[in-house]
Structure 1
Amino acid sequence: MISEKLNNQITQIGPQTPAGEVLRRYWQPAALVDEMQGSASKLAVNLMGERLVLLRNDAGGFVLTQRVASPDEAPAHFPDPESIEIVDGGPVYPVVEKKGIFFAYMGPGEAPEFPNFDCFRAPDSHVFAFKGLWECNWLQALEVGIDPAHASFLHRFLQDEDPADSYGKQFRDKAANLDMPMTQVLREYPRPDIEVEETDFGLKITALRHMANDLTHVRVTNQIFPQAICIPMSREMIITQWHVPVDDQNCYWYTMFTSFSKPVDKDVMREQRLKEHRLPDYAPLKNRRNNYHYNPDEQNTLTYTGMGLDINVHDQWAVEGLGPIQDRTREHLGRGDAAIVRYRLMLRKAIKAVESKKEAALPMRGDVDVSRIVGPLSNDAIATTKDWEAASWQADMQRRSECPWDASV
């Protein structure tokens, strides 16, 4: 457990707050390119506790600046573009477009380079971007993503569907080198050993599910500092997801789905997700107001939550159920929370570095050549228990060697 003062320090993100100042030292997803359609020249953006507007500039690029907004405006309010008023003399934040997402830099000094992650260097044809609104603080949204054990419980499927019918859905593949659905692996081996290693970009998190016949399922996921994750979706595809504060009590997840083999079917993936979200705010149709469409019959026969097959809904229920800002003064972390503990230490260290004006100590800042930070390795593999580390690496290398774009590391 931690004190209320420390909980406030690591969750609040407004201007000049400790965690907010750290997050402002990195590029933040601000909007989907899909949202700025046709000849539109303005788009309301609510980001990091500020009410902003995305503008096309004279050079054909984009910037973010302040707009006029009422104090009681809803966090995900999207006024008509023609009604947006710009604040004279407001701060102007630089914006770049990357693979379907507009990123903004809201910090002091020069904006940092982007690392050479797979989601950024894959061709546009192999990346699809989407987002969704969660009514909770950004930190609890991130922390569910760096907990490798939760998938065995929160995303437990009591039936295993044919992976051939599961394009664009997480945990619906078969485990590599083993004719067993991933849903079965997670269900039958629910208590992984978890190893956490600090890296140039954040944390590498390895979950080891020891199986019969001296085999181990190895699942490698990553925390990309300050508030992103990179995880395997299937053998073909990975997910890079940012948990972006709207304000202290609401956030968006922004996801890039990156394919190593075939181009992504963007129409199918967009259609799948728009069935679960409304426009223009990308709020989920299943939410606390309709009890996330909970069905006790489904819970008895199909899923652990009884809330459908979309795992985003499961995560949403779990993190929103903790309240707008999780009360960490009453929590009791255990061995399975190793990645959460390491991340919080990293965040507190970064807060101290910014406060003492030692920003060069931040991950991927200072003299670090971020163009040389590649990957990261994110995959599932089955290996003999004594050789799991090498086998996991080789599985990733094989996938990269067969990739039609340069995925070398």
Structure 2
Amino acid sequence: MAITAEQNDFMTRVGPGTPAGTLLRRYWQPVALSEELEEKRPLKAVRLLGQDMVLFRDESGQLGLVDRDCPHRGADLAFGRLEDGGLRCPFHGWLFNIKGECLETPAEPENSRFRHSIQQGAYPVVERSGIIFAYMGEGEPPALPEFDCFVAPDSHTFAFKGRWECNWLQALEVGIDPAHASYLHRFFEDADTSESYGKQFRGASADTETPITKVLREYARPNIDAKLTDYGMRIISTRKLDEKQTHVRVTNMVFPEAIVIPMSAHMTISQWHVPIDDTSCHWYAIFTSFTEPVDKKKMRDQRLQLIELPHYTSRRNKQNDYGFNVDEQLKETYTGMGHDINVHDQWAVESQGPIQNRTREHLAASDKCIFAYRRMLVKAIESTLADPKAPVPMMPDAEQAREMIGPISIDGVGASTLTPEQYWEQADRKRREACDWAAKRLTA
């Protein structure tokens, strides 16, 4: 089912006043990693949903997010000074606190109350598990769900990010497409699974010694099922290995733009695909361990082999053909683009263009999750345009947010006598029972 150019714009454009942008502003959005606010000068220019802002910590450690242009004469507050309880513009010394209130206008008459008429655009921010989230919508924001990635102790989580040069929607859609992994992430040889720490699709599936690379390579036609949930969609992919065993992979789409997927038998990834603007996006990921504390240094060093600071861009990109090597493509990997699956995904979505032309696509039966998500997205956009407070998915209050555990993400091999649901429920309970912080959340 092809869509029109107008329908494509309806789903993809995110600037102020656009249909999709209006919807996405109703949700908390990752705006930076905590580590990006350096101790010496905790201030950073950020761009989110086509808007330019400045993120900072004031002298008391409180987080603030304000529009980047000074409301006096438009100077760039990204070069401001953090002093006297706020952010001061170097042009004329106007001072703003984290709420955007103007505290001082030094050049004005001593008894002037002019500052009280000034309000800089300011946005609520919260910090969770190494990521700073911002709310750019109107009214009260929804509660953040108490998912595993947000309630696990700091020792058991690690956050990182990267930048892709394409629209956010095609970046998200690769994450809810189970069929691509058997080709895009195919390796012709299986590595030592004991060396797989921190590497996706390089370890063994749970409850087996079989490398996931072998499963994906030899069983390339998964059965895909998509179930709507209170948080979005649960995606269950099964591959029958033989008469006794079935491979089960459970991933999740958390509306509107996140996925929760298995990293390994003992670690999950919660990942957001966040629009910088219409033609670029960041992915933010929280890795959550159900066993030992995360080796943060190792995880960070692994990612810095691919990601270049300070802009979190990929060293393998369109300018160098993503490191493509024909000999590697013939002998080692299906893409010839190295062994990091983030590069494979980046090539796939960036090669579709800055904004994918969906008028030319031909979705098939294996794209059922794409169909389901787009229906959900369009319905939520239309509801929001009709009523800015209309009910849409994932708008929990505090009580509802406390009940949101998981979402469960599993990659494992179970007995074919079990239904996929029976297997992943048992596998999840077993993993939680062995984990101190997760066991506390188990219900009878």
Give the TM-score normalised by structure 2: 0.87
Alignment partner of 1:133 is 2:128: no
Asked if 2 retains the 8 angstrom alpha-carbon contact of 1:364 and 1:370, the reply is no
Asked if 1 retains the 8 angstrom alpha-carbon contact of 2:243 and 2:416, the reply is no
Which amino acid is the alignment partner of residue 197 of structure 2? Answer: Y
CA distance in 1, matches of 2:299, 2:363: 36
Q: Deviations over 1:103-124 (max 9, x none)?
A: 0000110121110100000000
Matched residue, 2:145: 115
CA distance in 2, matches of 1:306, 1:149: 19
Matched residue, 1:97: 127
Asked if 1 retains the 8 angstrom alpha-carbon contact of 2:43 and 2:78, the reply is no
Which amino acid is the alignment partner of residue 376 of structure 1? Answer: P
Asked if 2 retains the 8 angstrom alpha-carbon contact of 1:11 and 1:137, the reply is yes
Which amino acid is the alignment partner of residue 382 of structure 1? Answer: V
Asked if 2 retains the 8 angstrom alpha-carbon contact of 1:54 and 1:63, the reply is yes
Asked if 2 retains the 8 angstrom alpha-carbon contact of 1:163 and 1:181, the reply is yes
RMSD: 1.9
CA distance in 2, matches of 1:113, 1:57: 24
Matched residue, 1:74: none
Secondary structure of the 2:260 match is: strand
User: Which sections of structure 1, spanning at least 5 residues, go unmatched?
Assistant: 70-77
Aligned-pair CA distance for 1:61 = 1.3
Aligned-pair CA distance for 1:50 = 0.5
Secondary structure of the 2:368 match is: helix
Q: 1:382 aligns with which of 395, 413, 417?
A: 413
Asked if 2 retains the 8 angstrom alpha-carbon contact of 1:67 and 1:84, the reply is no
Asked if 1 retains the 8 angstrom alpha-carbon contact of 2:337 and 2:343, the reply is yes
Matched residue, 1:73: none
Which amino acid is the alignment partner of residue 2 of structure 1? Answer: I
Matched residue, 2:67: 66
Aligned-pair CA distance for 1:60 = 2.4
CA distance in 2, matches of 1:361, 1:272: 41
Matched residue, 2:21: 20
Asked if 1 retains the 8 angstrom alpha-carbon contact of 2:143 and 2:396, the reply is no
CA distance in 2, matches of 1:89, 1:248: 28
Alignment partner of 1:175 is 2:205: yes
CA distance in 2, matches of 1:90, 1:17: 22
Q: Deviations over 1:313-362 (max 9, x none)?
A: 00000000000000001111111111111010110111112112163521
Alignment partner of 1:35 is 2:36: yes
Matched residue, 1:75: none
Alignment partner of 1:237 is 2:294: no
Secondary structure of the 1:348 match is: helix
Q: Deviations over 1:227-275 (max 9, x none)?
A: 0000001011000000000000000000000000110000000011111
Aligned-pair CA distance for 1:366 = 6.1
Alignment partner of 1:338 is 2:339: no
CA distance in 2, matches of 1:352, 1:120: 30
Which amino acid is the alignment partner of residue 262 of structure 1? Answer: E
Matched residue, 1:312: 342
Asked if 2 retains the 8 angstrom alpha-carbon contact of 1:2 and 1:328, the reply is yes
Matched residue, 1:393: 425
- Map 1:134-283 → 2, pairs under 5 A: 134-283=164-313
CA distance in 1, matches of 2:90, 2:315: 27
Aligned-pair CA distance for 1:385 = 2.7
Q: 1:347 aligns with which of 373, 377, 383?
A: 377
Q: Deviations over 1:151-195 (max 9, x none)?
A: 111000111010111110011111222221010001111111110
Count of residues paired in the alignment: 401
Name which of structure 1's ranges 315-324 and 32-41 shifts more when overlaid on structure 2: 32-41
CA distance in 1, matches of 2:21, 2:345: 24
Aligned-pair CA distance for 1:57 = 3.6
Q: 2:438 aligns with which of 403, 406, 409?
A: 406
CA distance in 1, matches of 2:388, 2:131: 30
Aligned-pair CA distance for 1:89 = 3.7
Name which of structure 1's ranges 264-273 and 166-175 shifts more when overlaid on structure 2: 166-175
Asked if 2 retains the 8 angstrom alpha-carbon contact of 1:307 and 1:313, the reply is yes
Secondary structure of the 2:366 match is: helix
Q: Which has the larger radius of gyration?
A: 2
CA distance in 2, matches of 1:237, 1:248: 32
User: Which sections of structure 2, spanning at least 5 residues, go unmatched?
Assistant: 71-76, 82-88, 101-117
Which amino acid is the alignment partner of residue 43 of structure 1? Answer: K
Compared with structure 1, are the counterparts of its residues 84 and 405 closer, same or farther at alpha carbon in structure 2 (3 Å cutoff)? farther
Asked if 2 retains the 8 angstrom alpha-carbon contact of 1:44 and 1:84, the reply is no
Compared with structure 1, are the counterparts of its residues 360 and 312 closer, same or farther at alpha carbon in structure 2 (3 Å cutoff)? same
Which amino acid is the alignment partner of residue 120 of structure 1? Answer: F
Which amino acid is the alignment partner of residue 51 of structure 2? Answer: E
Q: Deviations over 1:63-82 (max 9, x none)?
A: 2111139xxxxxxxx97666
Secondary structure of the 2:252 match is: strand
Asked if 2 retains the 8 angstrom alpha-carbon contact of 1:13 and 1:19, the reply is yes
* Higher RCO by CA contacts (8 Å cutoff, separation 6 or greater): 1
